[in-house]
Amino acid sequence: MQICYRRLDDGAIIFDHRTWKTHVLTPAATIIYEALDEIRPADGGPVPNAAALALLQEDLDIETDTPSTQQLLRMLRHLGVIA
Amino acid sequence: MRLREQPLHALSRQADRGRLYLDQGAARLRIRSSVKGFIRNLHLLYGAFPYLPADTGFADHHVELRRGRRLRALIRPQSRFRTDGQEPFEPFPLHGALPLFEWGINWSFAQRANQYILLHSGVLARADQAVIMAAPPGSGKSTLAAAMMLSGFRLLSDEFGVLDPNSGQLLPMLKPVALKNQSVDVIRAFSDQAVIGPLFIGTRKGDVAHLAPNETSTDGLHRPARPALVIFPAFEAGATLDCRLMAGEDAFAHLAFNSFNYHLLGPIGFHAVADVIAACPAYRLRFGQLEAAIEQIRSLLDEADRNTQRAAQGHPK
């Protein structure tokens, strides 16, 4: 397993086994992460980029071009959550 | 038998032969020293600790505190600290041997005790419920820890939250509490039970004096405590008490990223600290008065206890 995910109250933390880095997710980032995790392929592979953007824009009504969302998406790509 | 029940000259002889042992809970030291003033201070500040005979044998850290040699034995005499063959600090003036020893032990423990997660925090316990107090220097953490010990809490550590990743419990790493600057007089005034060593003026951390751990604390040297509450204290002169619940992810970040060795332990540290935060409420506590802060901590512990009992009975918190 590449990452460990722990929910803590409304936020969460992620440990990346490849880099040994810990990432802290705000409550908003946690909602996004958990929504993406639900649509991950059954083999645990990454969510295709287009499907991830569609989820954020259409289902969660999130603007994907803001700096904070871009930063979160970059992090999730590094973690292998998004392709 | 406690250390203070042993005559000073007998301890000095043991130290001279490199056979003075000190049990601090999570670590045992073997000490060699011929610095007489240092042994006298040790006798006072570690007086409630158990006395260990000269043939004790095993120790985790072998430390030596000695006088400077040649000219440095005579002109502006020095004290030098060595641990397992290393000399991590520049020499101190001879009269500063005790603070040098205390910082040396902290350094030695922080370098080597990587079987534990070493949180940068004080830890006190009521019965076996541990309060983890994490804060940067200057926040009043040590002063609050000292006052809590003098108010009936058991001191596990002023500097290290020694978290055992296997059991999830906190182990004592008991040493005198280093009080700095005004805190020395604050604690002297707080309780007439306080045993405080000599004041060392103008150290790199300011004026420092050490508070001896009491018998309640030394009697629990090998008694771990379960994390029950995390506090991030901040002293502010004249401030009214203000206590705010922290988000779990913020509390995790503050606790984990300020630990001595989180970065070395990877997933072990991640899960151990996450388990603490998942089990304990975490609060920011701004205080201007020690008594009010301690009363608030007692009440938070009561609440944490009630919640634990409710959760054990299957009720939501």
Is residue B317 situated within a structural domain?
A: no
pLDDT band for position B204 (50/70/90)?
Answer: confident
Is residue B90 situated within a structural domain?
A: yes
Q: Which of B53, B85, B112 is the last residue of a domain?
A: B112
Q: Residue B317: is its pLDDT beyond 70?
A: no
Percentage of chain B lying above the pLDDT 90 cut: 86
Cβ contact (<8 Å) for A13 and B250? no
Tell me the pairing of strands B28-33 and B20-23: antiparallel
Q: What's residue B92's pLDDT?
A: 85
Q: What's residue B185's pLDDT?
A: 97
Over residues B42-71, mean pLDDT = 92
Same domain, residue pair B167 and B103? no
Same domain, residue pair B141 and B272? yes
Same domain, residue pair B28 and B124? no
Cβ contact (<8 Å) for B247 and A11? yes
Same domain, residue pair B74 and B90? yes
Percentage of chain B lying above the pLDDT 70 cut: 98
Q: What's residue B95's pLDDT?
A: 87
Q: Residue B72: is its pLDDT beyond 70?
A: no
Q: Decide: B210 and B102 in contact? Cβ < 8 Å.
A: yes
Q: What's residue B71's pLDDT?
A: 67
Q: What's residue B36's pLDDT?
A: 87
Same domain, residue pair B131 and B236? yes
* CA nearest to A75, candidates A6, A42, A26, A8: A26
pLDDT band for position B68 (50/70/90)?
Answer: confident
Number of domains present in the structure of chain B: 2
For residue A10, list chain B residues with Cβ-Cβ distance below 8 A: 247-248
Q: Decide: B232 and B134 in contact? Cβ < 8 Å.
A: yes
Tell me the pairing of strands B129-134 and B160-163: unpaired
Q: Which of B79, B112, B145 is the last residue of a domain?
A: B112
Q: What's residue B189's pLDDT?
A: 97
Same domain, residue pair B95 and B177? no
Q: What's residue B312's pLDDT?
A: 83
Is residue B97 situated within a structural domain?
A: yes
Is residue B201 situated within a structural domain?
A: yes
For residue A9, list chain B residues with Cβ-Cβ distance below 8 A: 247-249
Q: Which of B88, B112, B136 is the last residue of a domain?
A: B112
Which of A2-6, B129-133, B310-314 is predicted least confidently? B310-314
Same domain, residue pair B104 and B137? no
Q: Residue B313: is its pLDDT beyond 90?
A: no
Q: Report CA torsion sign: B283, B284, B286, B290.
A: positive
Cβ contact (<8 Å) for B267 and A22? no
Residues in chain A: 83
For residue B247, list chain A residues with Cβ-Cβ distance below 8 A: 8-11, 27
Q: What's residue A44's pLDDT?
A: 84
Same domain, residue pair B60 and B88? yes
Same domain, residue pair B90 and B129? no
Q: What's residue A2's pLDDT?
A: 87
Mean of the per-residue pLDDT values of chain B: 94
Q: What angle do CA B77, B83, B85 make, to 5 degrees?
A: 95
Please provide residue B137's backbone torsions phi and psi, each rounded to the nearest 5 degrees.
-55, 145
Nearest to A22 among B248, B256, B278 (CB): B256
Is residue B133 situated within a structural domain?
A: yes
Q: Residue B97: is its pLDDT beyond 80?
A: yes
For A21-30, the pLDDT digits (tens) are 999 999 999 9
Q: Residue B203: is its pLDDT beyond 90?
A: no
Same domain, residue pair B103 and B44? yes
Q: What's residue B308's pLDDT?
A: 85
CA distance B113 to B81: 19
For residue A15, list chain B residues with Cβ-Cβ distance below 8 A: 266-267, 270
Is residue B297 situated within a structural domain?
A: yes
Cβ contact (<8 Å) for A8 and B252? yes
Q: Residue B316: is its pLDDT beyond 70?
A: no
Is residue B198 situated within a structural domain?
A: yes
Q: What's residue B69's pLDDT?
A: 74
- Residue in chain B nearest A12 by alpha carbon: B249
Q: What's residue B93's pLDDT?
A: 87
Q: Decide: A48 and A83 in contact? Cβ < 8 Å.
A: yes
Higher pLDDT, B313 or B158: B158
For B141-197, the pLDDT digits (tens) are 999 999 999 999 999 999 999 999 999 999 999 999 999 999 999 999 999 999 999
Cβ contact (<8 Å) for B271 and A24? no
Is residue B83 situated within a structural domain?
A: yes
Q: Which domain holds residue B155?
A: 117-312
Tell me the pairing of strands A3-8 and A11-16: antiparallel
Give me the total of CB pairs closer than 8 Å, taking one residue from chain A and one from chain B: 48
Which of A34-43, B150-159, B305-314 is predicted least confidently? B305-314
Q: Residue B109: is its pLDDT beyond 90?
A: yes
Same domain, residue pair B173 and B234? yes
Neighbouring C-alpha atoms within 13 Å toward the C-beta of B133: 30
pLDDT band for position A1 (50/70/90)?
Answer: low
Over residues B33-49, mean pLDDT = 95
Q: Decide: B72 and B93 in contact? Cβ < 8 Å.
A: no
Q: What's residue B73's pLDDT?
A: 67
Q: Decide: B199 and B184 in contact? Cβ < 8 Å.
A: yes
Over residues B58-73, mean pLDDT = 85
Same domain, residue pair B49 and B179? no
Across B98-224, where does the E strand assignment appear? 117-126, 129-134, 154-157, 160-163, 170-171, 177-180, 200-203, 206-211
Mean of the per-residue pLDDT values of chain A: 94
Which position has the token pair 């004790």? B56
